[in-house]
Every structure is written in C-alpha cells, then in structure tokens.
Amino acid sequence: MNGPHDLGGLMGFGPIKPEPDEPVFHAEWEKRALGVSLCAACLGAWTLDENRHAYELIPPPDYLSASYYEIWIRGLDFLLAREGFATEAELFHGALEHGGRRPIGDILRPSSVDDMLFAGPSELPVSSPAVYQVGDKVRTRNINPLGHTRLPRYARAKRGVVQAIQGAYAFPDDNAHGRGANPQWVYTVVFSGQELWGDDADPSLSVSIDAWESYLEPV
C-alpha cells in the first residue's frame, strides 16, 4: 500500500533533528498508550501485520499530523471497533455501554509480560529450501499492492545482493489481511546508494532491507 507511512526518499519534510537525551515517553498518556496496545494485541483477534495495516488506513492528513503514539491509538481504535470489542462511540466517550466481545482465551497478566515480549513465536517452519543464497544477485519486484506490504517504494525494481538468510517468517502481505501466515524465507538484501537514488548519490552509501522471498527475482 503506497501511503504516508512509506516516506523513504521523499522530500519536503525538513531536516531530522535528534532530540538530545530524548526521554522514552514525552507524556504520561504515552505510557498508557503503549501498555494498552500491547495488552490489546494479546486479545487474539488480530495479528501484528493487521496492526501495522491499521496504521496505514489512517487518512494521510491525520497520519502526517499525528504523533507516534497517536498513530498507535488510532490504529487500536480501528481494530477494537472492527472486531467488536467496543463501538466507535464507546471509544470516543471512554465508556463501555454494551459489553462488547470477550477476549479469545486468557488475558495478558503481569506475570506473563516478560515471556510474551521475549519468548513469543516468530520464526516459522517452511516445506521448501531457500531459493537464494548469500552472494546471489537479485532484483526486487515492481509491485504496488492495494494492501499491506513490507517492500518499500524506494527499493522496488532495484538490483541488490543477498547479504544474509534470516529464516522463515509470516508473509505480511497475506497475514495482514486474514489469509494466514503463509511463511516465506526472508533475506537481507544490500543495495548501493546509486542503485536506489541515482548517479548523484554518495558512492559509499549502501542500504540493507529484509525482503520476503516473493519480493525477489533472480538476475
């Protein structure tokens, strides 16, 4: 999905100004936003990729004017309403009126937080061996899907070299839309700056991205 979340290579947003000694949270509500989002993710009603896609569905003017955790909360509101845990009106007023849907399975308890954050499943089994090996030359596909993808616009139809094989993981383009995990091999692919940005780019620059197997084709 080509939207305001995919800003790589775009201009006009001004310089990046790192904040010295930046705090983890800039306001108390941001702590709650993080906690509520992580707890809601354990309701069993959506995947991480569906969560990311919910951010992408925020209207561009709202997305670009929102802070980091405002985006989190707007995405969470969408998912809670979509899955029947609360209505839009209940979320707006901060009061549950009709009970809503119940969680699937057990809720996240304080004693389980560390295990959930550090020992959750991520790498998945696949039935076929990796198509590409380290050192292989590949080209990314030129795709413009209407739904979720993890292949950024600036790295499409570009030539690169496989730098590492990371394992097999849920394919986000399917997993974000309820089509199942459908795991694929994931490769770290390195591109020269000039391949991505043209001959005027810094010749010493390189960019690495993690690309699912179906994003790639052999050169």
**What is the reported pLDDT for 120?**
60
DSSP string over 38-103: HHHHTTSSS-HHHHHHHHHTS-HHHHHHS-HHHHHHHHHHHHHHHTTSS-HHHHHHT--SS--PPP
Task: Determine which of 27-41, 79-93, 96-110, 136-150 has the lowest per-residue pLDDT on average.
Answer: 96-110
The answer to whether 189 touches 133, Cβ cutoff 8 Å, is no
> Nearest CA to 4 among 95, 80, 65, 79?
65
In the chain, the domains with their CATH numbers are 28-118 (1.10.472.20), 137-218 (2.30.30.50)
Task: Determine which of 5-14, 46-55, 131-140, 165-174 has the lowest per-residue pLDDT on average.
Answer: 5-14
Task: Determine which of 63-67, 96-100, 104-108 has the lowest per-residue pLDDT on average.
Answer: 104-108
**What is the reported pLDDT for 111?**
87
- Write the DSSP symbol of residue 107: P
The residue assigned the tokens 């383009």 is 173
Quickly count: other Cβ atoms within 10 Å of residue 171's Cβ: 23
**What is the reported pLDDT for 9?**
86
For residue 219, give the 3-state DSSP assignment: coil
